[in-house]
Structure 1
Amino acid sequence: METYSRAEPAGSPRTAAAAPSPAPSGSPEDADATVRRAADLRSGDVVRIRSVLSQGLVEPALVAAALPLLRRDDVFGDVIPALRRAAPACTGQLVDALLDERVDPVIRRRIPRVLASVPTQRAADGLLAGLESERLDQRYRCAQALVRLSQRAAVSIPAGRVFAVARREIDGMGAGGGSRLEHVFAILSLALEREPIEIALRALRGRDPTLRGTALEYLDHVLPPGIREALWPRLGLVAAPPARRPVDDVRDELLRSSSRWTTGERRLRSSAGH
């Protein structure tokens, strides 16, 4: 039987012929390497874990072994980039974990950060499904990830579904809205023009009554009736002043006045600091 135990001069024809070629993908050697790397990811040893993550998660088995590491703060910063690099090839695997209520909530809460980097409809559909989660923190992360994803990719997000999700979130709000109001407006920005919606949110939370009135007038134009009727009481309103100007005029004023509002807020904060 041929062996390679005897040393040969470097560069000799025998050495070149005897050198083993890289194992083809799917070979037993390849499978053994995947098993070893998965074991390293599950070892709990930070050095071994980071070594595997730096080499890339090229197999579904490695992605499966890496996902539980999302709950570990000491390697979280290494896991996210590794999963992002692998995500285009394992989007379905990530979405399945995101939507599985049996998966650790911390893991599910952090998966949207990965999916936000995948500019595909499949990732968007998964995040949209995540807005149906029973956990508010999960829904919040999915909404934020969808906003980022929609800014960098031409994905389809049905407006009717967006408004249905927004209505459910409004129904769960208390008076004033609190942090839930930001979440509602992030959702609304998936179906409406983003910049005016973001300015309207800041105006509703700000101290400028004129800008607040402009924001309410704009919202009265663009929000569906069911959303308006649910939102106004949470803002302490019976109803917003009826919109009389064309929506484009109100929008332009809102965009122009936002710079004035921002300057005023900065002055107020500066005065408060002194």
Structure 2
Amino acid sequence: MSFGFMAFDPYLTFAKEEKGFKEKIFLKADGTATETYYGKSRDGRGYLSALWRIGRDSYATVAERFEYEPTVQDFKEIAEYIKKVEKDSAPFVQYMIEEGRLTLYQDRDSPPVNNVFEVLNDAPDGWLLEILMRVQSPSVVSGHLKAEDLEDFEFLLSAAAVMYISSYIIAEQLGADDLDVFYDVIQTNFASAKLYRNTIDTASDAKSSTGRRSAVARHKKTNDSKVAAQAEWASVGEKLSSRAAFSRLNHKKYDVTERTLYSWITEYERSRS
């Protein structure tokens, strides 16, 4: 099951100001509506609306990365890149299987995958990419890997969702028995793209939260030192020649510079006047 656009042109369908975008329908490459959505037997309202939303949202993600409305050619290049990523990552996935750290199934009725290289020949393009995303995502959350060091899974899986809609439309028009297979592939890629976005956001929020807690802890430590230093000055300051002398003798004790300690003592004295 491979990527391809034979049923519609994603640019015509989802580009802003194009008919497909405005009417929320699939368009053929020549700009006419597909039979699947807008044929004589359809009223053009409601049918395949869920699939359209998946395609629209997925296309929007791809367009955001490109910063322009991508065409069929752009998607073809993405398809080739996905195939390369899967080929390059297959040895890593196979290693995890052999180490007992990963168990894969092609579907719930099949036995575990023992040889990912054999399965990859028959699996839908993007199947191994989705697995790689799930394998690497926990490391992003834990902080062992940075998102920028990995593939842009949200982008690639969104593109895969768009590309399989073409196969779904053809299967529907032909009355094929495997229509649900295509629909499932589209849903899986779309859901996985969203899952990875949530993973990135979670990792970012966790990092920010840790940073805030560290800042609060540092601030509290500084405040505690400041109170202690001012209390000591109030107790023994009159025995010293000056604030500068006190700061010079005690700044290391409070883990600050002489200047900072001097400013604390000055603040204390001003508060008493």
Q: Same fold (TM over 0.5)?
A: no
Larger relative contact order, structure 1 or 2 (CA cutoff 8 Å, min sep 6): 2
Larger Rg: 2
The TM-score by the shorter chain falls in which range? Answer: under 0.3
